Homo-oligomer: A and B are copies of this chain.
Amino acid sequence: MLSEFSLIDRYFARRAKAPSPRQGDAPLGIGDDCALIAPPAGHQLAISTDMLVAGRHFFADVDARALGHKALAVNLSDLAAMGAKPHAFTLALALPHADEAWLEAFSDGMFALAERFDCALVGGDTTSGPLNICITVFGDVAHASALRRDAAKPGDDIYVSGTLGDARAGLGVMRGEWRAPDEAASAWKRALEKPEPRVALGLALGGVAHAALDISDGLAGDLMHILRRSAVSATVDADAVPCSDAVRALPEAARRQCALAGGDDYELCFTAPRNARDSIARIGERVGVALTRIGTIESGAPGIAWRDGSGAALSLTLQGFDHFHAD
């Protein structure tokens, strides 16, 4: 197996590179015991790691190019949620066998996204084993700009970016839970398989927003992370949560399940003070991402009071963790 896995190493190594040079940085990438990187002066490294397992986080027969994209995208999304600028990543990969066509497509999808964000592969590990992808990503964030989960304040507005529910709606089609016109089903599948990390938005929100995270497990569950860590509560207008027309066309229960509890959208949820409304609107225009105000942070024990568009209380039965992950 030596030659086979050496080939895989070389496969990635030939597209790896040292990170963009910068002051105080003498980068050392693939081929030594460690990669060496340093954040710019006054910055920290934001670090996130995600492990993707076949059959849990993706279907084993998923398009390899899309998988390469998604494996890195979910990590870049964590950087975006922190307001950090992508810099470098490591890839650890277990593969049952070396399939050149698969590797070509997987690495194409991964490097296409990496290059868009100037994020260099600086190290890694490959081995034989059940398919498993573990990426650790490194970004730069200025000390004062980090978007932490524990920074929400009573009176803050709550926003989400883009539209929610498309990825979950796509999963529903694949599972046979509901059907949709071809065009909608294609768009949903794309949302599920090729999420767009909101990097520019996260960077722009630094110093403006208070708390932020990316919605990987569904709005209801993820917002609760902010509420618990910030020791605050929230009121959310369920009808204000932005959805695509196709998701809006689903029956009400399915629509709410997708929009409020569906995972894998990788949009940002963030809070910001009322006096930042104009700034937030300008940021949304500048980065070209719709930003929708869906509720407010209040003092009180962590919990979400759901309202409908008329302001009436809603009693929702949501599965809190309803996405591709089975765990």
Most B C-beta atoms less than 10 A away, residue of A45, A50, A82, A326:
A45
Task: State whether A141 and B213 are in contact (beta carbons under 8 Å apart), knowing that A53-B127, A136-B136 are contacts in the complex.
Answer: no
Bound form: Cα–Cα A45–B26 in Å: 11
User: Which of B50, B84, B229 is close to A125, meaning CB atoms less than 8 Å apart?
Assistant: B50
User: Once the chains bind, are B55 and A129 in contact (CB under 8 Å)?
Assistant: yes
Partner-contacting stretch, out of A106-114, A143-151, A234-242: A143-151
User: Once the chains bind, are A36 and B44 in contact (CB under 8 Å)?
Assistant: yes
**Chain A interface extent, by class:** 35 or more
Most B C-beta atoms less than 10 A away, residue of A37, A39, A127, A139:
A127
Say how far A113's CB is from chain B's closest CB, in angstroms: 18
User: Once the chains bind, are A327 and B1 in contact (CB under 8 Å)?
Assistant: yes
Quick one: which of A34-93 are within 8 Å of B by CB? 34-39, 42-51, 53-57, 78-79, 81-82, 84, 90, 92-93
Residues of B within 8 A of A141 (CB): 36
User: Once the chains bind, are B36 and A326 in contact (CB under 8 Å)?
Assistant: no
Residues of B within 8 A of A79 (CB): 33-34
Contact with B along A110-132 (1 / 0, CB 8 A): 00000000000011111111101
Decide if A253 is an interface residue (CB 8 Å cutoff): no
User: Once the chains bind, are B44 and A37 in contact (CB under 8 Å)?
Assistant: yes
Task: State whether A327 and B45 are in contact (beta carbons under 8 Å apart), knowing that A79-B34, A136-B136 are contacts in the complex.
Answer: no
Say how far A83's CB is from chain B's closest CB, in angstroms: 10
Decide if A25 is an interface residue (CB 8 Å cutoff): yes
Decide if A31 is an interface residue (CB 8 Å cutoff): yes
Decide if A12 is an interface residue (CB 8 Å cutoff): no
Residues of A within 8 A of B (CB): 1-2, 4-5, 24-26, 28, 31-39, 42-51, 53-57, 78-79, 81-82, 84, 90, 92-94, 122-130, 132, 134, 136, 138-139, 141, 143, 146-150, 212-214, 229, 320-321, 325-327
User: 16 A-B pairs, CB-CB below 8 angstroms?
Assistant: A24-B143, A26-B143, A26-B146, A33-B79, A33-B214, A35-B48, A36-B44, A36-B45, A36-B82, A38-B39, A38-B45, A47-B138, A49-B123, A49-B136, A51-B134, A126-B327
